[in-house]
Chains A and B, each alone.
Chain A
Amino acid sequence: MSARTRSERKLAWMLCAPAVIAMLAVTAYPIVYAVVLSLQDVDLRFPEEGGFVGLDNYTAVLGSQLWWTDFFNTVFILLTTVAIELVLGMAIALVMHRAIFGRGVIRTSVLIPYGIITVVAAFAWQFAFAPETGFVNGLPLISDEMDWFGGRFSSFAVIIMAEVWKTTPFMALLLLAGLVTIDNQLYEAAKVDGASAWQRFTRITLPLMKPAILVALLFRSLDAFRVFDTIFIMTRGAQDTESVSILGFNQLISRLNLGLGSAVSVLIFICVFLIAFLFVKGFGTKLEEGRPGA
C-alpha cells in the first residue's frame, strides 16, 4: 500500500468518524441498553424493586390482549395507508409527469403536505371531522350527527385520511423519479403497435418502475409502522385505536415502566427489521440504491 493510499484512507476515516459516532451514539448503544432494560424489572415509580427477570417482560407483553390489538391496528393502518398512497401517489406522479401545463402548480401543491408538521396536519383534520367544530358533517351525504371519533373504525378512517394526506407527496415524488427514467420511445413504439393506454401502463410503466415502487413501498411501510403523531393527537389511543408506538410511549413515558416499555420497543425494532428483511429478501438488492426515508 502506497503512502498516498494510506493517507487517503486516514483522511477518509477522519472525515467520516464524527457522523458515524453521532449515528451510533443514539441508535446502537440505546438499542443494546433497551435490550438490557427489557430483561429487568425497572419501574421508576418503584425504584427499590428491580433486578433481572429474564424474558418475563416479553411474556407479559406477548401474553396481553393489548399488544395484539395494537399490533393489529398498526398493521391495519400500514396496509390501508400504503395501498391508498400507492394508487394516489401513482396517479399524482403520472399527472406530474404527463402534464403539459401546470406542472409547477402541481409540484408546489404536492409539497405543501410534506412541509407541514404532522401534528399540525392531525389537528387540522381533527377539527374538520369533530362534530363540534368541523365542516365535514355539513357536507352532503354525511350525517350531521356522525361522531367520527366515537367509534373504532370511523376513527381509523380519519387517522388514515390524515396519514395519506401527509405522506402521499413523498410516495408520488419517489414514483415520479422512477417514471422519468423510462424511455419515451418505448411508449411510441407500443402506440404504433396498437397498445391501449392501459396496456402501455401495465406492460411498460409498471414493470420498468418495479425498483422505484419497491423503494417507495419499503420506506413508506417502515414509516407507517411507526405511526404515532396522528393517533396521539386525534384519539390518544381511545376507542381501541392505539398503535404499537403509542403503547411503547405509554409504558415508557406515562407509566415510567422502563422494563415493560423496553420490551415493547425491542419488539417494534424486531418487527421493523423483519419488514425490511422481507422486502430485501423478496425483492433483491435493488433497494440498497434507494434513499433513506424522510
Chain B
Amino acid sequence: MERGSRDYALWSIGIVLVLAFALVPVLWLISVSLKPPEAVTDGRFIPSEISFDNYKSLFEGGIDDSPFIKPLINSIGIALITTVIAITLAAFTAYAIARLEFPGKRVILAGALAIAMFPPISTVGPLFDMWRAIGLYDTWPGLIIPYLTFSLPLAIYVLVAFFREIPWELEQAAQVDGATPFQAFTKVIVPLAAPGVFTAAILVFIFAWNDFLFAISLTSSDASRTVPAALAFFTGESSFTQPTGSIAAAAVVVTVPIIVFVLFFQRRIVAGLTSGAVKG
C-alpha cells in the first residue's frame, strides 16, 4: 500500500481509532493521579500542574499505616502462588491428556469447560461459611484455593493445545542419540514446552490479579485483602474528601507493570487466548 493513497489514509484512521479506544482510560487515570488534590475536580484531561502527592500518600506511613503496601504485597503473593500451583497441576493434567490414552479424558476436558462457565457468585456463600468454620477466612490460602479452581480450566486448555503441537518423537530420538531420559526431557522437551507454560502462566496471573468478587467476600482486613478490594475501601484524607487522587495513583501503580508485561509478551498472550478457539 502506498503512502498517501486513500486506502492508506483509511487504515491509518482505523488504527488511530482502535488505539484511542484502548488508551484513553489509561491516559486519563495517569492524568488524574498526577493532579494536585485541589485540581482533581478541574475536569481537564491534561493536568495543568503535575504533582506526585497522590503517589507519596499511598506509601506514607510505611508497611503498617499505608493503605496500599499490604494489599499490594497480598496481590503479588497470592497471584504468584496461584500461578505456580495452577501451572504445575495443569501441566500434569495436560501432559496426560495430550500424550496418554485413558478413559475419562473427554470427561475431564468437558468438566473443565463446565467450570470455566461456572458463576463464581454461586460458590461465594458456601465458601464464606466453610472458610469461617475451618479458619481460612481472611487468609491467603482462602483466596488461592478458589483462584486455583477457576484458573485451572483455562490453564489446562492452553497447555493441552500447546502440548499437542510438541513433536514428542524428538525425546526418543535424543535417547537413541545417547541422551539419558532425564537429559532428553530437560534438553529437548522442556525448551519446547516452555512457551506454552509461560503463556498459561501469564493468563492465570492476570486472572488472579483481576479478581474482585472473592477478594471482597472472603477477606476482612489487610491480612489478605488484595488491591482491587482495597481500592473499593479506600478513604480520603478526611471523611469529607474523596479519595479520587489516591485511587487513581494506586490504579496506575498496579496497571503500568501489567501493561508493560502485556506489551512485551503480546504474541504469546494472543496465542494463549485463542488456543483451541477454532479447533482444539
Mark B239-280 against chain A: 1 for CB-CB distance below 8 A, else 0: 000101001100100110011011100110110011111111
B89 at the interface (CB under 8 A from A): yes
Which residues between 84 and 106 of chain B lie within 8 Å of chain A, taking CB atoms? 89-90, 92-93, 95-97, 100-105
Chain A positions within 8 Å of B185 at CB level: none
Which residues between 256 and 290 of chain A lie within 8 Å of chain B, taking CB atoms? 258, 261-262, 265-266, 268-269, 272, 276, 288-290
A127 at the interface (CB under 8 A from B): yes
B129 at the interface (CB under 8 A from A): yes
A189 at the interface (CB under 8 A from B): no
A119 at the interface (CB under 8 A from B): yes
Which residue from chain B places its CB closest to the CB of A32 in the assembled complex? B126
B198 at the interface (CB under 8 A from A): no
Q: Are A294 and B207 in contact (CB under 8 A)?
A: yes
A133 at the interface (CB under 8 A from B): yes
Cα distance A118–B25 in the bound complex, in angstroms: 12
Number of A-B contacts (CB under 8 A): 322
Chain A positions within 8 Å of B223 at CB level: none
Which residues between 109 and 126 of chain B lie within 8 Å of chain A, taking CB atoms? 109-113, 115-126
Chain A positions within 8 Å of B213 at CB level: 228-229, 245, 249
Please tell me the size bucket of the interface on A: 35 or more
Which residue from chain A places its CB closest to the CB of B150 in the assembled complex? A26
Chain B positions within 8 Å of A212 at CB level: 277-278
- Interface centre among B112, B156, B206, B251, by most chain A C-beta atoms within 10 angstroms, is B251
A108 at the interface (CB under 8 A from B): yes
Shortest beta-carbon distance from A272 to chain B in Å? 5
Shortest beta-carbon distance from B246 to chain A in Å? 11
Which residue from chain A places its CB closest to the CB of B148 in the assembled complex? A22
Q: Are B92 and A19 in contact (CB under 8 A)?
A: yes
Mark A240-259 against chain B: 1 for CB-CB distance below 8 A, else 0: 00001100110011000010
Shortest beta-carbon distance from A40 to chain B in Å? 11
Contact of B259 among A11, A116, A266, A269 (CB under 8 A): A116
Given A30-B130, A117-B209, A249-B121: A9 and B262 interface contact (C-beta under 8 Å): no
Given A291-B276, A292-B154: A5 and B228 interface contact (C-beta under 8 Å): no
Please tell me the size bucket of the interface on B: 35 or more
Cα distance A15–B206 in the bound complex, in angstroms: 25
Mark A1-17 against chain B: 1 for CB-CB distance below 8 A, else 0: 00001001101110110
Cα distance A165–B28 in the bound complex, in angstroms: 14
Q: Are B277 and A26 in contact (CB under 8 A)?
A: no
Shortest beta-carbon distance from B30 to chain A in Å? 10
Q: Are B28 and A135 in contact (CB under 8 A)?
A: yes
Chain A positions within 8 Å of B158 at CB level: 291
Chain B positions within 8 Å of A137 at CB level: 43
Shortest beta-carbon distance from B167 to chain A in Å? 20
Chain B positions within 8 Å of A294 at CB level: 154, 203, 206-207, 273
Contact of A114 among B12, B255, B262 (CB under 8 A): B262
Cα distance A248–B14 in the bound complex, in angstroms: 41
Chain A positions within 8 Å of B244 at CB level: 127, 133
A66 at the interface (CB under 8 A from B): no
B149 at the interface (CB under 8 A from A): yes
Cα distance A128–B45 in the bound complex, in angstroms: 9
Mark A56-85 against chain B: 1 for CB-CB distance below 8 A, else 0: 000000000000000000000000000000
Chain A positions within 8 Å of B212 at CB level: 117-119, 228-229, 232
Interface hit among B16-24, B59-67, B189-197: B16-24
A170 at the interface (CB under 8 A from B): yes
Cα distance A249–B123 in the bound complex, in angstroms: 11
Which residue from chain B places its CB closest to the CB of A216 in the assembled complex? B277
Q: Are A22 and B152 in contact (CB under 8 A)?
A: yes
B26 at the interface (CB under 8 A from A): yes
Shortest beta-carbon distance from B50 to chain A in Å? 17
Which residue from chain B places its CB closest to the CB of A228 in the assembled complex? B213
Q: Are B115 and A23 in contact (CB under 8 A)?
A: yes
- Enumerate 30 A-B pairs (CB-CB under 8 Å) in ascending A order: A16-B97, A19-B89, A20-B93, A22-B149, A23-B115, A95-B11, A99-B11, A100-B11, A102-B15, A109-B18, A112-B23, A112-B262, A113-B22, A120-B29, A120-B228, A123-B29, A124-B25, A165-B21, A173-B270, A215-B277, A229-B212, A232-B212, A249-B213, A258-B128, A258-B129, A266-B122, A269-B118, A272-B117, A291-B158, A292-B116
- Listed from nearest, the 6 A-B pairs whose CB atoms lie closest are A292-B116, A177-B274, A30-B126, A26-B149, A12-B102, A109-B22
Binding site for A on B (CB under 8 A): 1, 11-12, 14-15, 18-19, 21-23, 25-26, 28-29, 32, 40-41, 43-45, 89-90, 92-93, 95-97, 100-105, 108-113, 115-130, 145-146, 148-150, 152-154, 156-158, 161, 203, 206-207, 209-210, 212-213, 216-217, 227-228, 231-232, 242, 244, 247-248, 251, 254-255, 258-259, 261-263, 266-267, 269-270, 273-280
